Amino acid sequence: MPSFSTKLTRRSVDSAAPQPGRYFLWDSELKGFALRVAESGTKTYVVRYRPRGIGRGAPKRFVVLGRHGPVTPEEARARAKAILGAVAAGQDPALQAAHPALAITLNDLVDTFINEHVEAKRKARTATGYAAILHKNVVPRFGKRAADGIARNEIAQLHLSMRNRPYLANRVLAIVASMYSFARKAGLVPKGTNPTEGIERYRESSRERYLTTDELNRLGETLRLAESAGLPWKMDTEKPASKHLPKPDDRRTVLPTEAVLAIRLLLFTGARLREILHLEWCHVDLDRGLMLLPDSKTGRKTIVMSTLVVALLRASTRSGRYVIPGAGADRPRSDLKKPWQAVQRHAGLEGVRLHDLRHTFASIGAGASLGLPIVGKLLGHAQPATTARYAHLDADPLRRATNLIGDQLAGALAEQVKAALPE
C-alpha cells in the first residue's frame, strides 16, 4: 500500500487525488497522523499508534478521526494529539472503543483533560482551579465509573445538591461540559456523550460591590494610620491573656509598607490582584506612566498610570525585582489576606473583597461618563460584554434625557409646576 508524507493542510488534503488502491498521506509534523484516501475518493483522517508496554513487535492500532469535510485538518490534528497523549499516559483508545467494558474511567478522563488540554491551553492557576473543582466535587462520586456511562440525571442531581452554592454549582457544570467536549473531539467517548447537555444553570446574583464616598474616606484614613501609628488590634477573648501583652495604648500593628502600597495600587489602577503582586520594576515605565505587563488573565496588557500612581511608585523603595516584594528580595508577595483583614476591620468594610477595589475603580469611571469602551480599556477587558456590567452606572446620559423630558413637561404645565415649587 503506497504512502506519502506532507503537512496535512486544507490545500494538501483537497489536492490529494484518488489512485488505484487505497493509500495514506502521512503528516510530516505529527507522527502517526494521516489522511487515508480511498480509490473512490473518500478521504478519512486516522491516527496510528502502538500501545505502551506491549513491545515493539506488537501490531499498531488505528483510530478513525472522521471524514474530511465534516472534519477539518485542524480538528483532526487536535483529536490525534489528544489520542496520542492518552496513549502516552498508558491508555489504549482503540481497544476501549472496541470493548466498552474497557472504556476510559471518569478519573482517567479528568487526568487526561487536565494534562493534555487545560495545562496546555490555559494558565497554570486555571489548570489548578479546574483540577481542584473536579477532584473535590466530581471524582469522589463518579471517578471509578466509565466516562461514557454517566447519565444526564446523575449530573443534574449533583448540580441540584449544590443549589446552596449556585456559583460553584454552575462552575462545576461548565467544567464538566468542557471536559466532555474535549473527550468527544479526542475520540475518548462516543459522539453525543455529554451528560451536562440541557441542564439549566442557576441564576447568580451580582457580586459587584462598590465603595461609597464615605467608605473610600474611611479606607484612606485607615491606610494612612496603618503605615504610620499603626492599627489598634483586638485581643482574642477566647484565648487566655498573656502577661507579656503590651499596654492597651500600645496595642497597635503597623502594616508593611509594601502591603499598603499594593492596596493603594489596586484601588488607583483597577488592576487585578496578581497583576500588582507579580509586577516587576522592569515592567514599569515611570517616564511614560505605563505598566507594561507581559502576561495577564487576558494576555499582554498595558496599564495607564495616573500621576498619583506614578508619584506613589517614585516615592517607594526598590528592594528587589518586584514592586511588592515577598519574603525574599527576588520573590513576590503571595497574598494580602492578613493586611486586608486588618484594614477591613478598622475601616468597617466587612464583606468587601480586594477585587471590589477593581469594581470601585470601574464604577467611578462609568459614573463619570467616560464611556464603557474607555473603562474596558483601562481594566484590560478582552470582551466589551465584560464591561457592560457597569452600564447601569453611566447616569449622565439618563440624567440629560430625564432633564430634557422634564423641561418639556414643565413647559406644558408651567403654571402648575411654578405653584408647586417652594417660595
Cα separations (Å) of 57 from 2, 52, 61, 95?
Answer: 22, 12, 12, 17
The CA distance from 270 to 357, in Å, is: 7
125, containing H or E segment: helix 124-137
- Identify the CA nearest to 187 among candidates 342, 82, 340, 257: 82
pLDDT in tens, the chain (423 residues): 567 889 999 999 999 999 888 899 999 999 999 999 988 899 999 999 988 766 666 678 888 888 898 889 999 999 899 888 888 877 777 766 655 544 688 998 999 999 889 988 888 888 889 999 999 999 999 998 888 888 899 999 999 999 999 989 999 999 999 999 998 888 788 778 899 999 999 987 666 688 888 898 999 999 999 988 889 876 554 555 555 555 555 578 899 999 999 999 998 888 889 999 999 999 999 999 999 988 887 778 888 888 888 999 999 988 889 999 988 778 899 899 999 999 999 999 988 989 888 888 887 777 666 666 776 777 777 676 666 666 655 555 555 666 666 666 666 665 554 555 555
- Identify the CA nearest to 346 among candidates 212, 234, 229: 234
235, containing H or E segment: none
- In this structure, the number of other CB atoms found within 10 A of the CB of residue 269 comes to 23
Instruction: Evaluate whether 273 touches 259 at the Cβ level (below 8 Å).
Output: no
Contacts of 250 (CB under 8 A, 6+ apart): none
Q: Give residue 44's identity as a one-letter amino acid code.
A: T
Instruction: Evaluate whether 88 touches 58 at the Cβ level (below 8 Å).
Output: no
Q: Give residue 317's identity as a one-letter amino acid code.
A: T
Set of cell numbers at residue 20: 488505484
The CA distance from 96 to 190, in Å, is: 11
The CA distance from 27 to 32, in Å, is: 8
Query: In the Cβ-directed half-sphere of 89, how many Cα atoms lie within 13 Å?
Result: 19
Instruction: Evaluate whether 279 touches 293 at the Cβ level (below 8 Å).
Output: yes
Q: Scan for cell 494610620, then name that residue.
A: 225
pLDDT value at residue 56: 66
The CA distance from 324 to 279, in Å, is: 7
The torsion angle over the Cα atoms of residues 63, 69, 71 and 74, rounded to 10 degrees, is 110
The CA distance from 176 to 196, in Å, is: 7
The CA distance from 180 to 172, in Å, is: 12
Set of cell numbers at residue 115: 494534562
Domains assigned to the chain: 3-100 (3.30.160.390), 103-185 (1.10.150), 213-236+249-397 (1.10.443.10)
Q: Looking at residue 310, what DSSP letter applies?
A: H
The torsion angle over the Cα atoms of residues 184, 187, 191 and 197, rounded to 10 degrees, is -20
301, containing H or E segment: strand 301-304
Distance from first CA to last CA of the chain, Å, rounded?
A: 102
Alpha carbon of residue 5 to chain centroid: 39
In 204-334, which ranges are continuous DSSP H helix? 213-227, 257-269, 273-277, 307-315
Contacts of 103 (CB under 8 A, 6+ apart): 96, 146, 147, 148, 149, 189
Backbone angles phi, psi at 271, to 5 degrees: -75, 160
Q: Scan for cell 443534574, then name that residue.
A: 156
- In this structure, the number of other CB atoms found within 10 A of the CB of residue 131 comes to 19
Contacts of 313 (CB under 8 A, 6+ apart): 284, 286, 305, 323
Query: Residue 276 burial (CB < 10 Å; 0-12/13-18/19+)?
Result: buried
